[in-house]
Amino acid sequence: MTTYRFPSNFLWGAATASYQIEGAWNENGKGESIWDRFSHTPGKITNGDTGDLTCDHYHRYPEDIALMRQLGLKAYRFSISWPRVIPNGMVPVNPKGLDFYDNLVDRLLAANIQPFATLYHWDLPQALEDKGGWRNRDTAHYFADYTAVMVKRLGDRVKHWATFNEPLVAAFAGHLWGEHAPGIKDEKIALQTAHNILVAHGLSVQAIRSVDSDLQAGVVLSLWPVEPVEDTPENITVAEKTWQEGGDILFLDTIFKGHYPPAGWEKAGDNVPQIMPGDMALISQKLDFMGVNYYSRQLVDVTGERVRPEGPEYTEMNWEVCPPAFYRLLTRLNREYRLPPLYITENGSSFKDEVSPDGAVHDPRRESYLREHFIQVHKAMQDGVDMRGYFVWSLMDNFEWGHGFTKRFGLIRVDYETQQRTLKDSAKWYAGVIRENAVE
Ligand code: FCB
For 296-340, what is each residue's pLDDT tens digit?
999 999 999 999 999 999 999 999 999 999 999 999 999 999 999
- 320 catalytic residue (yes or no): no
Q: Whose CA is nearest to atom 9 of ligand 1?
A: 17
Q: What's the confidence (pLDDT) of residue 213?
A: 97
Q: What's the confidence (pLDDT) of residue 1?
A: 85
Q: Are 372 and 317 in contact (CB under 8 A)?
A: no
Q: CA–CA separation, 120 vs 110, rounded Å?
A: 25
Q: Is the pLDDT of residue 160 over 90?
A: yes
Model confidence over 84-138: pLDDT tens digits?
A: 999 999 999 999 999 999 999 999 999 999 999 999 999 999 999 999 999 999 9
Q: Which residues contact 430 (CB under 8 A, 6 or more apart)?
A: 12, 71, 367, 370, 392, 411
Q: Are 320 and 297 in contact (CB under 8 A)?
A: yes
Mean pLDDT of 220-231: 98
Q: CA–CA separation, 101 vs 151, rounded Å?
A: 11
Q: What's the confidence (pLDDT) of residue 20?
A: 99
Q: Which numbered atom of ligand 1 lies nearest the CA of 350?
A: 6
Q: Are 330 and 292 in contact (CB under 8 A)?
A: yes
State the SS3 of 373-437.
HHHHHHHHHHCCCCEEEEEEECCECCCCHHHHHHCCCCCEEEECCCCEEEECHHHHHHHHHHHHC
Q: CA–CA separation, 330 vs 342, rounded Å?
A: 9
Using 50, 70 and 90 to split pLDDT, how confident is the model at 409?
very high
Output phi, psi for 377, to 5 deg.
Answer: -70, -40
**What is the distance in A from the centroid of ligand 1 to the CA of 348?**
9
Within 36-81, strands assigned E span 75-79
Number of folded domains that form the chain: 1
Residue (of 138, 69, 150) closest to 434 by Cα position: 69
pTM higher than 0.85 = yes
Q: Evaluate: CB of 409 within 6 angstroms of ligand 1.
A: yes
Q: Evaluate: CB of 56 within 6 angstroms of ligand 1.
A: no
Please identify which of the residues 129, 227, 320, 346 carries the catalytic annotation. 346
Residue (of 380, 403, 252) closest to 326 by Cα position: 380
Residue (of 299, 362, 384, 39) closest to 181 by Cα position: 39
Q: What's the confidence (pLDDT) of residue 163?
A: 99
- What is the 8-class DSSP label of residue 279? H
Q: Which numbered atom of ligand 1 lies nearest the CA of 222?
A: 7
Q: What's the confidence (pLDDT) of residue 350?
A: 98
Amino acid at 156: D
Q: CA–CA separation, 244 vs 261, rounded Å?
A: 7
Q: CA–CA separation, 236 vs 234, rounded Å?
A: 5
Model confidence over 232-281: pLDDT tens digits?
A: 999 999 999 999 999 999 999 999 999 999 999 999 999 999 999 999 99
Q: Evaluate: CB of 253 within 6 angstroms of ligand 1.
A: no
Q: CA–CA separation, 273 vs 207, rounded Å?
A: 24
Q: Are 268 and 184 in contact (CB under 8 A)?
A: no
Q: CA–CA separation, 120 vs 139, rounded Å?
A: 12
- 166 catalytic residue (yes or no): yes
- Mean residue pLDDT across the chain: 98
Domain assignment of residue 362, given as a range: 4-439
Model confidence over 9-45: pLDDT tens digits?
A: 999 999 999 999 999 999 999 999 999 999 999 999 9
Q: What is the CATH number of the domain that holds 267?
A: 3.20.20.80
Pocket test for ligand 1, best of 18, 19, 119, 166 (most atoms within 8 A of CB): 166
> pLDDT exceeding 70 applies to what percent of the chain?
100
**What is the distance in A from the centroid of ligand 1 to the CA of 67?**
21
Q: CA–CA separation, 132 vs 217, rounded Å?
A: 27
